[in-house]
Amino acid sequence: THRRSAAGGVKPFLSAPMARYLLPSTTTAASSFPRNARASPAPILAPRALASRSKHARAIMAVASDQPAAPSKYPKMAAPTTGPVPADELLGVIQAAAKAGAEVVMEAVNKPRNIQYKGVADLVTDTDKLSESVILEVVTKNFKDHLILGEEGGLIGDSLSEYLWCIDPLDGTTNFAHGYPSFSVSIGVLFRGKPAAATVVEFCGGPMCWNTRTISASSGKRCLL
């Protein structure tokens, strides 16, 4: 509705119920709408105030650094050591075995695949088998008494060994078979049932321009690239 002013003009007029919904009172309007950051810029602090804040923050950090770290709710899964075999020696053999398998994969990556199916969607190529065979050759040459679990060949070696090698000669066979850059050669070693060392040779790039990067880790050492 409209209302005529004394000057003869027409002003819009809202009834009380309608005004209550469309025009909130000044006491509630500010709380009803979010504050506009542009309309209320943050105050600019003087240099003394900034220095005081910085000093206060450093004091808090100093106190926090003296506090003992909170215990993690996730227990450590890695073995405390690599056992009788030194970490450097164990990791060296793992890396040599993984790189030997990766060379087989690299040689075949741009060639046609002979694909077989172990299940409805679980395929295996000749490259899987050949990669595993060269990996096993490196491992058994260095550690004849270790137990080895290969994806293609199953368990071989001493079942009483404290070491268990877990080998995936071509991790991501489906991606490899279709030329998708997300597959690797993965080898891990358990000592007394806990992870002791591992190496992954990852393939990246794409058809006709493949490359690899190696990632390794062992107990007591940081991850190595």
151 is in an annotated binding site: yes
What is the bridge-based pairing of β-strands 154-157 and 147-150? antiparallel
122 is in an annotated binding site: no
Cβ atoms of residues 88 and 216 within 8 Å: no
Rounded CA separation 13/73 (Å): 65
Rounded CA separation 106/108 (Å): 5
155 is in an annotated binding site: no
**Which 3-state string (H, E, C) describes 58-80?**
HHHHHHHHHCCCCCCCCCCCCCC
168 is in an annotated binding site: yes
Binding residues: 151, 168, 170-171
Q: Which residues are annotated as part of the binding site for Mg(2+)?
A: 151, 168, 170-171
